[in-house]
Chains A and B, each alone.
Chain A
Amino acid sequence: MFSWFGKVSFVPYSKVADFAVHLKDGRLMGSLCKKCGYQTFPPRADCPECMSPDFSFQEYSGRGEIYTFTRTTAAPVGFDDIAPYTIIVVELEGGGRLVAWQGESLTEDDVRIGRPVQVVPRVWEKGEEIKVYYTAEQPGTTWNKAPAPHLG
């Protein structure tokens, strides 16, 4: 399932593969160590602090602010069809950062360091394969979530 995540997948398998299923359901998940309570985004199966391999997913609000960004003109293989595109690093409420694309609700002027944004889970509409990702949007942007998380 982890191969669902991203436009091009480089890592099809992971112990946190259900991250992609949760994202498809509209939930952004980090991880919580069951032993010492260490919380992190992106999620990791194995705790870097106490070395416990027992974790659970922990939902993040996706609220955050722009930490840095870049508008990419020279795109790598697999991304030339969407270039130019803007990559935004979001510092998340609850800690951790992620890479997201600039969403359609943000104008070029909105893309400024420190500006509040909402990370929104997305399912790629084109093509037959399931592809999930997220975009950075205006604060307050809403989206559909599946009724209840059906995975650990």
Chain B
Amino acid sequence: MSRVGVIGAGHGKFGRRSDATVQELAFEAFRMAMEDAGIEREVLDASVIAAVPEYHKQRSVAGVVQEYLNLNPRPTWLTEVACASGSAAIRTAWMAIQSGLHDVVAVIGCQKMTEMETAEILALMGRVGEVQWESIFGTTFPGYYAMFAQRHMHEFGTTHEQMLAVGVKNHHYGALNPNALFQKEITLEKALESEPVSSPFCVYDCCANADGAACLILANEEKARAISDKVVWLDGVGAATASMSVLRRPNLVGLPSAEEAARRAYQMAGVTARDIKVAEVHDCFTVAEIMAYEDLGFCRKGEGGRYIAERRSYIGGEVAVNVDGGLKSKGHPIGATGVSMAYEIVKQLRGESGKRQVPNAGVGLTHNVGGIGQYTFVHVFKRD
């Protein structure tokens, strides 16, 4: 099979962007990605937009983005699988290119969240739990992951301190990322003192809602080689699902969709977990990163708490994880997140990550989870 390569990547500032509309945010990332690729719009065949529509007043947001980027009359379409929408966009762009339909496709993840109140967002996000039997009791998004955390603590002796150590790490690296929402270090003591959210979680276990956008330009192998001398190849695209109701899952200590997506992505890319040197994982809540270490095979099930406590996911450890700050520190504009993860891996594999550069990063992955593991996409990237 021929390959699909990333020839351009762009990333705007994440945060409370009261200065911009969603299409203006998309433009920032798109402009950077096009400059990075060194191409003009004429080269593009299509775009895929990732956004979760419920957050925007504008109905069918792909249309307004497409117009603002001056990409009419090229085709565009929206992908939506909750917080994994960005990776779904990358996957469909990969499919469009591999099918031969399009040669060069722009993928734009964009989201404006902060125009809504936190309680409204909590209500909306909680409804990614099953609404017929569960949300009617006031389940919330942090609440679901908190219930995974309780099981993880019960079955494996994982501690809340170990979970918060994930937050400490991600803030450590986020402090070095100019695109991050929170560019400051935190201490374990401060994290433990933060307000309770949903036991065992407190504020520092949870990522923050944010506005932002990121963009990738993908091309088929021939065009990629012709256009760019720093191509990063998207060699493994794994995806899988699990029941909408987490109550129907076999256990609540991991995400079966993540294990399956990883298995498929590794197989397609011809790599194993041991080959991964840098990873972007979906740390919407601290326990989610601990479960990701396990589901991705970086360590055995149940050892994730020790993995972070022993700093094995820091630069210099076994796999550098979320060295852009992760969702925790960077912020989580849900439609943009999957593309933002891919942006970081592309920059890392090119050796362009400055103070946060992971040495000898030749293979990297993104692990992007939609909802509470109803959808997971794992993408493996390689440098030649």
| Residues of A participating in the B interface, judged by any CB pair closer than 8 Å | 5-11, 14, 42, 67-80, 82-83, 85, 87, 89, 96-101, 113-114, 133
A5, B135: Cα distance in complex, Å: 11
CB of A76 within 8 A of CB of B122, answer yes
Contact flag A76-B140 (CB < 8 Å), given A70-B199, A97-B247 = yes
- Is B1 interfacial (CB 8 A cutoff)? no
A72, B197: Cα distance in complex, Å: 6
A25, B140: Cα distance in complex, Å: 29
Contacting residues, chain B, for A114 (C-beta < 8 A): 154
Supply 15 A–B pairs (Cβ within 8 Å), ascending by A: A5-B136, A6-B135, A6-B137, A8-B136, A67-B252, A68-B148, A71-B199, A75-B140, A76-B126, A76-B140, A87-B138, A87-B147, A89-B247, A99-B134, A113-B151
CB of B136 within 8 A of CB of A6, answer yes
CB of B147 within 8 A of CB of A82, answer no
Nearest CB in chain B to that of A40: its residue:
B248
CB of A72 within 8 A of CB of B147, answer no
CB of A74 within 8 A of CB of B138, answer no
With contacts A70-B147, A73-B198 known, what are 9 further pairs, Cβ within 8 A?
Answer: A6-B135, A8-B135, A11-B132, A70-B150, A74-B197, A75-B119, A78-B123, A98-B247, A113-B154
- Is B193 interfacial (CB 8 A cutoff)? no
Contacting residues, chain B, for A98 (C-beta < 8 A): 133, 247
Nearest CB in chain B to that of A131: its residue:
B136
Q: Interface residue count for B (Cβ, 8 Å)?
A: 34
CB of A85 within 8 A of CB of B150, answer no
- Is B157 interfacial (CB 8 A cutoff)? no
Contacting residues, chain A, for B135 (C-beta < 8 A): 6, 8, 10
Q: Out of B122, B132, B137, which one reaches A77, CB within 8 Å?
A: B122
A5, A9, A11, A87 — which one has the most chain B CB atoms within 10 A of its CB? Answer: A87
Nearest CB in chain A to that of B200: its residue:
A70
B82 to chain A, nearest CB (A): 16
Q: Out of B120, B137, B142, B198, which one reaches A101, CB within 8 Å?
A: B137
Nearest CB in chain A to that of B201: its residue:
A70
A74, B195: Cα distance in complex, Å: 10
A8, B146: Cα distance in complex, Å: 22
Contact flag A68-B151 (CB < 8 Å), given A10-B136, A77-B119 = yes
Nearest CB in chain B to that of A8: its residue:
B136
CB of B198 within 8 A of CB of A71, answer yes
- Is B317 interfacial (CB 8 A cutoff)? no
- Is B383 interfacial (CB 8 A cutoff)? no
B365 to chain A, nearest CB (A): 29
CB of B150 within 8 A of CB of A87, answer no
Contacting residues, chain B, for A80 (C-beta < 8 A): 119
Q: Out of A11, A14, A78, which one reaches B138, CB within 8 Å?
A: A78
A65 to chain B, nearest CB (A): 12
Contacting residues, chain B, for A71 (C-beta < 8 A): 196, 198-199
A11, A73, A85, A99 — which one has the most chain B CB atoms within 10 A of its CB? Answer: A99
- Is B356 interfacial (CB 8 A cutoff)? no
Interface residues of B in 107-139 (CB under 8 A from A): 118-120, 122-123, 126-127, 131-139
Interface residues of B in 134-181 (CB under 8 A from A): 134-140, 142-143, 146-148, 150-151, 154
Contact flag A76-B198 (CB < 8 Å), given A10-B135, A68-B151, A87-B137 = no
CB of B131 within 8 A of CB of A11, answer yes
